[in-house]
Structures are given as C-alpha cells and as structure tokens.
Amino acid sequence: MFSGAYTALVTPFNRDGSVDFLRFTELVVRQAEAGIAGIAPVGTTGESPTLNFDEHSRVIATAVEAAKGRMQVIAGTGANATAEAVELTRRAQDAGADATLQVTPYYNKPNQEGLYRHFSEVATLGLPVVLYNVPGRSGREIAIDTIVRLSANPAIVCVKEAAGSVDRVSAILSRCDIGVLCGDDALTLPMMAVGATGVISVVSNLVPERIVALVQMALEGRWDEARAMHLKHYRLFCDCFLDTNPIPIKAAMAMAGLIEETYRLPLCSMDEGLRAILRETLKEAGVPLV
C-alpha cells in the first residue's frame, strides 16, 4: 500500500510564530511536482508538539487540499493519550487523509499490552494506520512481538522504522505481513536492501527529486546506481541531523530560500558553528543557496 519516497513535511511559521499556510501549500505543491509518493504532515518534522488542535487539523486539511490526489497524505495524528490520538485521527479522516502516522505514545511509556490496545483503538476508525517506531523520541520501542500482533488487524498496514536498526526490518518482515518504510534518511538504502519499500524522508523537504531517484533505483533493483546516489548524499543525510530535527532541515530550507527560519519554543535555531558546517555540506551537495 505504501511504496516510494515520502516526505515528513516541515511546518513553516511566519516571523510572528503563526503557521504560514500559504508557504505550506507551496511546499506541498513542490513535493507533488517532484514526484514524491506522499507527504506526512504534522509529524516530528512538522513540529506537532507545538501545534494546537485546530492548527494541527488545519495543516492536515490544507495538505490534503493542496495535494489534490496527486500523492498520498499520511497524517501525523499520534498522541500519548489514546482519546486524543483518536480525535486527531477522526479529524484527519474527515479531511480526506489517506492514512494516519501513529507515533508510539511518549512520556507515559506504556507497556506492550498498552501499546497494543492504544494502536488497536485508533485502528477502529478504519483509516489505514502506519505505526511509528521511534524510541529515541518516545522512550518506548514497539516490540517485534507487538508488531506481529498488530499486523493481524487489517487497518494496521505499515511501520515507519526510525529506531536506527536495519536488523529490526528483517525481524519484522520475517515474522509478519506488514509494510515497512525507513524512518532514517541515511538508512534508506540498507533498509530497502532487506525489504523496506521506501522512506519517510526529512531530507526530501530540501531535495525531493534526489530522494525519489534513490528510492526508485532501489525499488527497481538498480543497486549500483542506488549505492552511488546514497554515498553521494551521505554527508547531507547526516548533517541534516546535526541538531535536533527539524532544526537543521528548516535552517537548510531557509538557506535555500524555501521558508523563513522560524521555530516555536522550546526549539530554537542552531549555533553558528553547526550552521557553518551545514552550509558547507549544502554547497558540496550542489543545493542552490540564496
């Protein structure tokens, strides 16, 4: 159901801190024109923790409207309270999203039975669910056994693997029939080599055509070309995470004239040393800067 290059879309803000919906629409259109298979708005990269309910829902609705059916919209509607995740998902479903990206509940660190019940409750809405395993953010991993249990639910169709482990992809695919999308740009090629069908990328906010090309090469078994593309962009993949995501990617996009570099606290701009490293990497990668 999910195959190709997807973009974990940033949420641009105006200088006064409000959501820049005009610029956001332009970013969605840019992704569609680049051939991206889909976008994932209001996830980690979209700074979801600092958006209120109404902003969150409006960003998703704007994404669906701007996509115009040209690509899938996997709406970030996870939360650490099940009732909140269900309500956000219901709103995304009403807006026309194609799927929901469900992050592991953070901070309260539920046990595996709690995770199973949480994701199962969200799945009762019927909107396809992409589980989001990111223990570095949430403090809790979705165990392989839990993914196997959840895969029996026809609404739970895919896992975004962002735990930094290629081995987990093999473990999942060897035990159940569920899709896997890579959640770490630098691991796109290795994960696809063992069966992932694509990536939910951060770097594709900046260079979507290049991520589309890399993923397509891998899907077509053109491994030598894919490896060359991976190695050519490896430093870019790494340096877009010099600081907490999405700080570096928003800084890079601002350097390229795509957005204003504005965050909501507690996120703030990166220090000048890291910024200089990032700018040099962008130049080496041939990213046009303003």
Residue 198 has pLDDT above 90, yes or no: yes
What are 17-36's pLDDT values in tens digits? 999 999 999 999 999 999 99
Whether 234 contacts 285, CB under 8 Å: no
Q: Give CA–CA dist 41/60, Å, rounded.
A: 6
Q: Give CA–CA dist 36/199, Å, rounded.
A: 11
Q: Is residue 283 part of a domain?
A: no
Tokens linked to 39: 């976008």
Q: Give CA–CA dist 262/41, Å, rounded.
A: 17
Q: Is residue 258 part of a domain?
A: no
Check which CATH number belongs to the domain holding 29 and give it: 3.20.20.70
- Catalytic position from the list 6, 116, 132, 250: 132
Q: Is residue 79 part of a domain?
A: yes
Q: Give CA–CA dist 235/185, Å, rounded.
A: 11
**DSSP helix/strand/coil, 140:** coil
- Does the annotation count 68 as an active-site position? no
pLDDT at 42 (0 to 100): 97
What are 89-118's pLDDT values in tens digits? 999 999 999 999 999 999 999 999 999 999
Q: Give CA–CA dist 198/181, Å, rounded.
A: 5
Q: Which amino acid is at 254?
A: A
Whether 24 contacts 45, CB under 8 Å: no
Q: Give CA–CA dist 118/259, Å, rounded.
A: 36
Q: Is residue 61 part of a domain?
A: yes
Q: Residue 290: is it exposed, middle or buried by C-beta count within 10 angstroms (0-12/13-18/19+)?
A: exposed
**What pLDDT band is residue 1 in, cutting at 50, 70 and 90?**
confident
Domain of residue 94 covers 4-220
Q: Is residue 228 part of a domain?
A: no
Q: Is residue 110 part of a domain?
A: yes
- Does the annotation count 106 as an active-site position? no
Domain count, the chain: 1
Q: Is residue 251 part of a domain?
A: no
- Catalytic position from the list 160, 234, 250, 263: 160
What are 228-282's pLDDT values in tens digits? 999 999 999 999 999 999 999 999 999 999 999 999 999 999 999 999 999 999 9
Q: Is residue 170 part of a domain?
A: yes
